[in-house]
Amino acid sequence: MRYESPRASHRRHRKPRLTRRGRVVLIVGVLTLVAVGVLVPLLLVRETPAPRKPPQATRTLLIPEGWRAGQVYEAVDKALGLPPGTTRDEAATARLGLPAAAEGNPEGFLFPATYPIDDTTTPRSLLRYMVATAGERFGTPKVTQGSRRNDADLYETITIASIVQAEADTEDDMGKVARVIHNRLARGMALQMDSTLNYALDRSTIDTSHADTRIESPYNTYATPGLPPTPIGNPGEQAVHATIDPPPGDWLYFVTVKPGDTRFTADYEEQLRNVEEFNENRRNAPS
């Protein structure tokens, strides 16, 4: 057995002392751990995505074919939750991109379609959308060339189409109604359309009295030859295409004797008989 002196044993169990270099390494290591401990939460905060805003609810607004501008304004006010008259006032002052011939009146160019709306939609943005859509649909070579074939400009074509839209009982009748209008214009005859009177009187009815036909209005096509000064509604594409390319025919008159039965003729006496049948049907209709 090897004998160790007490002094030697004391030296063997004494705690080791760090050198200067060891102390530096230890301090750097501790600081690194502290930095990492602080940095990790910061990285977690930075990498956490910000909460997203809930998507805006998108709704739709349907504008039917043939609606007048006033009906469109009321529908926009209701859809956007605005006081009545807001959209009408906006339309009177906003620059909507209308053709020069419209002179600021959007009637005829508020294209009938289904439009998306949300919380950011305004009357002005929605009206501009409608007018821009009309420009795309009505500004095609087919429409412009068809207008020229009928010796009409685009504004006149839309005006005729608005009457066609209001007068035709069925889609199949649109072309024939357009032909009647073209034939009457070519002969210098008054159009004598109830739909233009209804527009002047701000109503919708199939009952026209003799007193109605004597009102003083540029929309009274019983008394004033030619087209009314503006469209009387907002026509769809089908009415416009019927206007620019109507079927051939010599018709000058028509009357819807009963739903689904519109009769066209070039003979005035035949027209009177058809009108009498219409009146008879109205008299016998259940109240």
Q: Which residue has the tokens 């002392």?
A: 17
| pLDDT confidence band for 66 (50 / 70 / 90) | very high
Residue 72 predicted with pLDDT over 90: yes
Residue 221 predicted with pLDDT over 60: yes
What tens digit of pLDDT does each residue of 164-206 get? 999 998 999 999 999 999 999 999 999 999 999 999 999 988 7
| pLDDT confidence band for 38 (50 / 70 / 90) | very low
Residue 53, pLDDT score = 52
Q: What share of the chain is helix, strand, coil (3-state, %, to 5)?
A: 55, 5, 40
| Residue (of 158, 123, 125, 164) closest to 144 by Cα position | 158
Residue 10, pLDDT score = 43
Cα(191)–Cα(163) distance, rounded to whole angstroms?
A: 10
Give pTM, 2 decimals.
Answer: 0.79
**Range of lowest pLDDT (14-18, 123-127, 133-137, 140-144):** 14-18
| pLDDT confidence band for 54 (50 / 70 / 90) | low
Give 37-66 as a DSSP string: HHHHHHHHHHHSPPPPPPPPPPEEEE--TT
For residues 6-13, give the mean pLDDT: 43
Residue 56, pLDDT score = 60
- Residue 169 CB contacts under 8 Å (≥ 6 apart), including other chains: 256, 259, 260, 262
Q: Compare 240 and 205 and report the one with higher pLDDT.
A: 240
- Residue 181 CB contacts under 8 Å (≥ 6 apart), including other chains: 160, 163, 164, 191, 193, 243
Residue 139 predicted with pLDDT over 60: yes
Cα-atom radius of gyration of the chain, to the nearest Å? Answer: 39
What tens digit of pLDDT does each residue of 92-122 get? 999 999 999 999 999 999 999 999 999 999 9
Give 102's DSSP letter. Answer: G
Residue 51, pLDDT score = 55
